[in-house]
Homo-oligomer: A and B are copies of this chain.
């Protein structure tokens, strides 16, 4: 009837609680099997199967058979961005599913939020950058200052290549465990991967937890205090 892409279809696909749970679980970036997703969503495996079929049909998730398992991931980066944007919108309006954050202390301390650092350490990083005048946050619009650019470059990140990317450089992302902001955007991603490079942190294989070594955490707190 009207012009335009069928926004309603993807909306309704994401709009079902079971599917939303599955997609949220897949935001970790890990590949999950159909049964894992079923328990994540709290439905039987039959229902999960039908949901996944629908998501697959419009290319929101990407299946991959491996033996008798079928692993699912988000189809591409764009799907992740849309989900991230929707989560931001929901969080900023206080629409959280439950008031309790992650129970696992490790998750509460440091975890990945899609692809950047969240949890207490993520909030620490963000607050430190703002407090020292490396970032400015004026009503949600986050930008990097001169001194911030210097700091980041010295830390071994090539800002120029980030700038040209498709993604915003800086983005405040509301943390739904801490209810505080942390740093997303391409800079957030770059920082996290730099932490991995430096051996400061590694990603837990079984969850979204990010585990800092003792030395890593000390250095982290020194640089960004």
Q: Does A81 count as interface, using CB distance less than 8 angstroms?
A: yes
Q: Does A6 count as interface, using CB distance less than 8 angstroms?
A: yes
Q: Do B166 and A171 touch (CB < 8 A)?
A: yes
Q: Do A13 and B10 touch (CB < 8 A)?
A: no
Within 8 A of B (CB), among A70-93: 78-79, 81-83, 85-93
Within 8 A of B (CB), among A5-23: 5-17, 19-21, 23
Q: Does A163 count as interface, using CB distance less than 8 angstroms?
A: yes
* Contact partner, A4, options B82, B87, B93, B165, Cβ 8 Å: B87
Q: Do B2 and A40 touch (CB < 8 A)?
A: yes
Q: Does A58 count as interface, using CB distance less than 8 angstroms?
A: yes
Mark each residue of chain A from 58 to 71: 1 if its CB lies under 8 Å from any CB of chain B, else 0: 11000000000000
* Contact partner, A163, options B4, B98, B169, Cβ 8 Å: B169
Alpha-carbon gap, A89 to B141, bound state (A): 24
Q: Does A140 count as interface, using CB distance less than 8 angstroms?
A: yes
28 contacts between A and B (CB under 8 A): A1-B98, A2-B24, A2-B40, A3-B100, A3-B101, A4-B96, A5-B88, A5-B96, A6-B95, A7-B23, A7-B87, A8-B15, A8-B16, A8-B17, A9-B15, A9-B90, A9-B95, A10-B86, A59-B93, A78-B140, A79-B89, A81-B85, A82-B85, A85-B85, A141-B166, A163-B169, A166-B170, A167-B168
Q: Chain A interface (Cβ within 8 Å of chain B)?
A: 1-17, 19-21, 23-25, 40, 42, 58-59, 78-79, 81-83, 85-93, 95-98, 100-102, 140-144, 163-171, 174, 176-177
Q: A7-B86, A81-B85 are in contact. List 18 more A-B contacts (CB 8 A).
A: A1-B98, A2-B21, A2-B24, A3-B177, A4-B97, A4-B176, A6-B95, A7-B14, A7-B20, A8-B15, A8-B16, A8-B17, A8-B19, A11-B13, A11-B20, A12-B15, A78-B88, A164-B169
